Amino acid sequence: MKRNLIELVAAGVFGVAAIAGFATSQSRQPYDLTQIQFCPASKTEKGQIYLDRTYCNHRHYVLTEAWRRYGGYDSVIPYKGDAIQWVRDLPTDNPRQLEASAVAVVGLWGVAGCLIVRSQRLKRTDYEKSEAEKTEGYNVWLIDAHRREVKQHSTQLHTERLKDGLTAMDMEERKTLGLTDEENENAKARIQFEDFMKARAVSHSAQDKTIAENLLAKAKADKERAKTEGQVKEPEQAVTTATSNFTLPDEYKWINQLLKLPFRVLSGEQGSGKSTLERLMIRLLKDEGYHVVVINPETNPAVWSGVEVLVDAEDIDAFMGAFPGDIRARQGRARERLIDEDDFLTTLKDEQGLNGRVAIFLMESNTYEVHGVSPDLLAAFLKQSLTNIRKWGYTVCLTAHSDNQTSVSSALSGFSKLLDSQPRVDCIAIADPQTNEAVSSGKAWLKMKGVKDPQPLEVPLYNYPKTKQF
């Protein structure tokens, strides 16, 4: 408030000075002049010559100081030839015109300077305010996400720690530290969420084992039946399930290399194999300890397990709007811990959920705006994703049916070239000879230099099971 008043008062003072200086400088005669006119000689009846001003013409003006320095001076000069001179002084009516003009110029510059300083300060204030709101909004969204997870699954968990909350020892320690009730509640919710994640991991492991056994049993039954009918065919790939970490065969190592990049694009027609590749990437990233966030307005979150799914436009907008603020918050954590930014990723290995390493999958991105997702927030999210976000614990995968990036969002036209230059996998579809529908060819074009890569590499696609249980 005080700074505002000072800036406005200073601008007002300079403005008054500029107006006064300009008004004062408006003078037609800033110097002392001498006017000289040549008049025809006139004679009286007695033959005397006199000055008849009625017919004077040809006015000349010289500086009075020069006139006095270099010539005699009088109001009337005797007759010379056929004309006489009439001379008179014209004193200046504004002896300080130059000073007044200078004051006007300084005043104008002062007003401009005050306005520029004020404009820059207001912009900086608005920016700091928006950044603070984004950071605060992300923290609120993070807490709400944790609470939703705990509330949704708390009925399934009956461990002693969840029943009693924090142990007596924990409570005593927190009382000693002087934490408030709200901080205790937040700590309790965090512990509940961590316990839930561990319990869910055990549950998923059991589910995956059951799925694997069923798939293997089915494969054996099909093979025996094929032998009986004399039509035994060796499968192209062994079925791989999520019972434990697995290693891809050498011909699929390109997928591991692709996952080390901070950003990648999957494109291709429907049925070309994008979803299969997405599921495999999720599995591999889960094995590495990433918390996976799936953003897909057209999916059913109930069929997913082991990943966080966002389907509502409000939740998607909140997540994307808070994303740049979280990157800056992690940068601040690195500075507070006095560690180099290239070493920050190693500090997240022991962190859980959204506080640790996070992999984000933008599925069916062509439909986001149709479902009400803000194009500006999506554009800002993608711009942030195109920076080196991997060292801050993030990796992003964008899936789109079309290479035309404006079909993803109307706000992407400004940096579509940058998005098109990102590494991508174009899945190749072929027509099924029986149904004439598009199906995966089992191959894709790997374009490390973007959509216009002059030397794309043809790579095989791994046939990962159609499961959303991770």
**CB burial readout 299-308, b (16+ within 10 A) else e:** beeeebbbbb
DSSP 153-209: HGGG---HHHHH-S-HHHHHHHHHHT--HHHHHHHHHHHHHHHHHHHHHHHHHHHHH
Tokens standing for 25?
């400088």
pLDDT reported for residue 242: 47
Mean of per-residue pLDDT scores for the chain:
75
For residue 231, pLDDT over 60 is answered with: no
Q: In what order do the strands lie in the sheet with 438-447?
A: 308-310, 291-295, 358-362, 394-400, 263-267, 424-431, 438-447, 457-460
Question: Band of the pLDDT at 55, cuts 50, 70, 90?
Answer: low
Residues 273-331 have pLDDT tens digits of 898 999 999 999 998 889 999 999 999 999 999 999 999 999 999 999 899 888 888 88
Q: What is the mean pLDDT of residues 255-282?
A: 89
Q: How much of the chain, in percent, has pLDDT values that exceed 70?
A: 65
Residues 413-438 have pLDDT tens digits of 556 677 788 899 999 888 888 888 88
If we measure between CA atoms, which residue out of 434, 152, 173, 80 comes closest to residue 302?
152
pLDDT reported for residue 341: 79
Pairing between β-strand 394-400 and β-strand 424-431 as defined by DSSP bridges: unpaired
pLDDT reported for residue 427: 92
Half-sphere exposure of 291 (CA within 13 A, CB side): 19
Overall pTM surpassing 0.85 (yes/no): no
Lowest-confidence segment of 28-32, 117-121, 137-141, 219-223 by average pLDDT: 219-223
Q: What angle do CA 181, 183, 186 make, to 5 degrees?
A: 110
Of the spans 65-74, 120-129, 237-246, which averages the highest pLDDT?
Answer: 120-129
Query: Rounded distance, CA 303 to CA 159, Å?
Result: 26
pLDDT reported for residue 379: 86
Q: How much of the chain, in percent, has pLDDT values that exceed 90?
A: 14
Question: Would you call 69 exposed, middle or buried from its count of C-beta atoms within 10 A (0-12, 13-18, 19+)?
Answer: exposed
Residues 437-448 have pLDDT tens digits of 888 888 999 998
Of the spans 126-130, 133-137, 159-163, 284-288, which averages the highest pLDDT?
Answer: 284-288
Query: What are the distances in angstroms from CA 327 to CA 129, 161, 363, 374, 381?
Result: 17, 33, 22, 20, 11
Q: What is the mean pLDDT of residues 400-417?
A: 62
Which position has the higher pLDDT, 31 or 321?
A: 321
For residue 225, pLDDT over 70 is answered with: no
Query: Rounded distance, CA 193 to CA 216, Å?
Result: 34
Of the spans 60-64, 73-77, 140-144, 455-459, which averages the highest pLDDT?
Answer: 455-459
Domain segments of the chain as ranges: 157-214, 243-460
As its CATH architecture, domain 243-460 has 3-Layer(aba) Sandwich (3.40)
* Helix orientation angle between 168-177 and 181-229, rounded to the nearest 10 degrees: 140
